[in-house]
Amino acid sequence: MEAFSHLLEQLYFTSGNKAKAQLIADYIANAPDPDRGWAIAAMAGTLRFDFFKRNTVKKLISEHTDPALFAMSYDYVGEVSETVAHLWPYSEPSDSLPTLTEVVETFTSISKQKVSATLAHYLTIMTPAQRWALLKLGTRGLRIGVSARSIKQILADYGNKDIKEVETLWHAVTPPYVDMLGWLEGKVDKPDIKNAVTFHPVMLSHPIEDSDIKAFTKNTWQIENKYDGIRVQLVVKSNNPINDKAQNGSGADGDKPQKALFSRTGDDISHSFPDLLESISGNMVLDGELLVIHNAEPGFHPSEESTAQSAASQRTSSDKSGKQASSATQPNVDTFNALQQRLNKKKPSKALQSSAPVGLIVYDALVLNGEDLTEKTLKARRHYLEEWFSKTNNSRLFLSETLNATSPETLRQLHTQVCQNRAVEGLMIKRLDSHYVPGRPKGQWFKWKRDPLVVDAVMMYAQRGHGKRSSFYSDYTFGVWEDSQLLPIGKAYSGFTDEELKKLDNWVRRNAVGRFGPVREVKKELVLEVAFDAVHPSSRHKSGVALRFPRIHRIRWDKPASEADTLANVKALIEG
């Protein structure tokens, strides 16, 4: 427990991903099994359950300290675990703290009634820093600024392996990862994952260049909409249609899950989308875009049998099969903003599942009916997919529509045309003869995103960055005019070169007029051309808008602030 607490302490105060990775790698190299595996699970968020509930902690501290003093302390500290760590009134330092593994095993095995007393005992023998680590671990609230993806990268580097191997393995192995760590260290064979539901590293695209567009020729490429959702991978290994488990509730947590939904980086996001997973059975790995699709709910269709048309024929089916069919087969796609309320929800409510139903627009298959298709061409995979869709009856799955262009000119026209639809963020252009190769192979797949939106905004506040940028004012809050007043609309900290950063930093220092803690207010004189992907209404900001992925496009040293955009200009860009 000492080493784990020490690691967390260092990670907490270290900025910079490289330095953090170094600390974690050192820990893995020096900590024994199975401690290190549990630590990895805690950091990567793969522990299966809370050791104790937040309420248990609150109740315990209220029984042992003055509630009024606790409340005042908490009010100041702002975080329960740290307040408890400092406030716990008993201290009997012990030379032999339990190991991380002992802590995990104790809380896994003891009865509910004993949890509180055990926690109290641990708190008493630990230092405040160790208590904090224990409380964060036990409530699965570690926030150390290291993503699960980074953990996998660190493990891959540690074992001198390709991250794709670790990603493939990741969901088939369980904490404390003794087999995987042994394999990384070359001591044992790679764990056998043949029958496991696991992530398959995905194939990625390159941004298209003008030369690629010029070289475009017909009958070589598959063209599709680039949807504005999130890329996911649906993995299913069951041949029983909707079984008992699914009916027992969305959170059914069997020992070996038979299906899972992964993010592009291999995070298991199944728990957020029970509505999608419940509906699916078979043996497949599908690659597609997750979106809020308003006609994806089975209940949407009065009679499923007649409406669940084969999506393979969706382009031609609507005229044949009447009103219901056309509404069922064309996905009624909502914006990314709509999807956002479904992301990172551990347990989406029934109400949310029905107001924002999710569906999948499928654009590729790695495995279908148990057959591996990755060695086949895209053209062949597409053929299998169409065939499969023609026999499948699922209201949440839609086959990605293919589009047509015959020359560079018609491709450009097509791009302009699709970008008018705000739910689409451009085109995907894939070689018909491309195999499914994990990573980002050259010349196979291209993405052609819509041009970003831009506004001219005025810098209002600046804040120092972190790590290497800690002496530079590199985070800028900017605003636009409403009458004679500037209202902040967002914050950006990227998009400029190092040279430009130096100039901006210098400008901030010379033009600072006020200070609010770490934030400097600046003269409202510098215009920043801000690029962003979308703008949404937002009640969080006084301006009533929020930008998606804002970055500094250009610095308009020349432009007077009075000529910057107005809030009305920005609101006019709101989609839908």
Beta bridge partners of 534: 548
Cα distances (angstroms) measured from residue 235 to each of 20, 164, 257, 383, 431? 32, 17, 10, 20, 24
Site string for other proteins, 182-211 (x = CB under 8 A): ------------------------------
Which 86-115 residues touch other proteins, going by CB under 8 A? 86-87
The residue among 124 and 332 lying less far from other proteins, judged by its C-beta, is: 124
What mask of x and - would describe binding to other proteins in positions 502 to 541, judged by CB under 8 A? ---------------xx-----------------------
Q: Give the integer Cα–Cα distance in Å for 259 and 240.
A: 12
Closer CB to other proteins, 29 or 72, in the complex: 72
Q: Per CB under 8 A, does 287 bind other proteins?
A: no
Cα(202)–Cα(360) distance, integer angstroms: 16
User: What are 360's two structure tokens?
Assistant: 């999948």
Q: Which residues are CB-neighbours of 276 under 8 A, at least 6 positions away?
A: 234, 261, 290, 358, 359, 360, 396
List binders of other proteins among 126-145 (CB under 8 A). Answer: 128, 132
Residue 464 interacts with other proteins (CB under 8 A)? yes
| Part of the chain binding other proteins (CB under 8 A), chosen from 13-21, 51-59, 341-349, 363-371 | 13-21
**Residue 207 CB: number of other CB atoms within 10 A?**
10
The residue to which tokens 């990567």 are assigned: 44
The verdict on 466 binding other proteins (CB under 8 A) reads: yes
DSSP result, 323-348 = HHHHHHHS--B--HHHHHTTTT-SS-
Q: Percentages helix, strand, coil for the chain, rounded to the nearest 5? A: 40, 25, 40
Q: Is 404 in the site for other proteins (CB under 8 A)?
A: no
Q: Is the CB of 316 or the CB of 471 nearer to other proteins?
A: 471
DSSP 38-102: HHHHHHHT---S-SS-HHHHHHHHHHHS-HHHHHHHHHHH--HHHHHHHH-------SSPPPHHH
Distances in Å between the alpha carbon of 153 and those of 13, 162, 199, 340?
21, 8, 15, 27
Q: Tell me the closest approach of the beta carbon of residue 68 to other proteins, in angstroms.
A: 6
Which stretches does DSSP call E strand in 264-395?
A: 282-292, 358-368, 371-372
Return the range that interacts with other proteins (CB under 8 A); candidates 110-118, 218-226, 419-427, 463-471. Answer: 463-471
Helix (H) or strand (E) holding 233: strand 230-238
Quickly tell me which residue has 């015959």 as its tokens: 406
- Nearer CB in complex with other proteins: 86/440: 86
Nearest distance, CB of residue 511 and other proteins, angstroms = 16
50-89 residues in contact with other proteins (CB under 8 A) are: 65-66, 68-69, 72-73, 76-79, 82-83, 86-87
Alpha carbon dihedral 416, 421, 426, 427, in 10-degree steps, equals -80
Shortest distance, CB of residue 509 to other proteins, whole angstroms?
8
How near is the Cβ of 155 to other proteins at its closest, in Å? Answer: 23
Q: How far is the CB of 11 from other proteins (least distance, A)?
A: 11
Nearer to other proteins, 69 or 572 (CB): 69
- Give me the residues paired with residue 224 across strands: 402, 428
Q: Rounded to the nearest whole angstrom, what is the least distance from the CB of residue 86 to other proteins in the complex?
A: 4
Give 77 or 424: the residue with its C-beta nearer to other proteins: 77
Nearer of residues 89 and 443 to other proteins, judged by Cβ: 89
Looking at 471, 484, 497, 539, which residue binds other proteins (CB under 8 A)? 471
Place of tokens 């598959």: 222
Q: Please state, in angstroms and rounded to a whole number, the distance separating the CA atoms of residues 232 and 230.
A: 6
Pick the stretch among 257-265, 267-275, 366-374, 466-474 that binds other proteins (CB under 8 A). Answer: 466-474
In whole angstroms, how close is the CB of 434 to other proteins at the nearest point? 45
User: Judged by CB, which is closer to other proteins: 12, or 384?
Assistant: 12
Question: CB-wise, 15 or 313, nearer to other proteins?
Answer: 15
Q: Where are the beta strands (DSSP E) in 382-518?
A: 397-399, 402-403, 424-431, 445-449, 453-464, 473-482, 485-492, 512-516
Name the one range near other proteins by CB under 8 A: 224-232, 442-450, 462-470, 553-561: 462-470
Can residue 470 be called a binding residue for other proteins (CB under 8 A)?
Answer: yes
Binding residues for other proteins, rule CB under 8 A, total: 26
CB of 459 to other proteins, least distance (A): 19
Nearer to other proteins (CB atom), residue 19 or residue 188? 19
Nearest distance in Å: CB 315, other proteins? 55
Closest CB to other proteins among residues 40, 87: 87
CA–CA gap between residue 349 and residue 363 (Å, rounded): 29
Give the Cα separation of 261 and 335 in Å (integer).
20
Distance (Å, rounded) from C-alpha 238 to C-alpha 246? Answer: 12
Euclidean distance between CA atoms 428 and 225, whole angstroms: 6
Residue ranges binding other proteins (CB under 8 A): 12-15, 65-66, 68-69, 72-73, 76-79, 82-83, 86-87, 128, 132, 464, 466, 470-471, 517-518
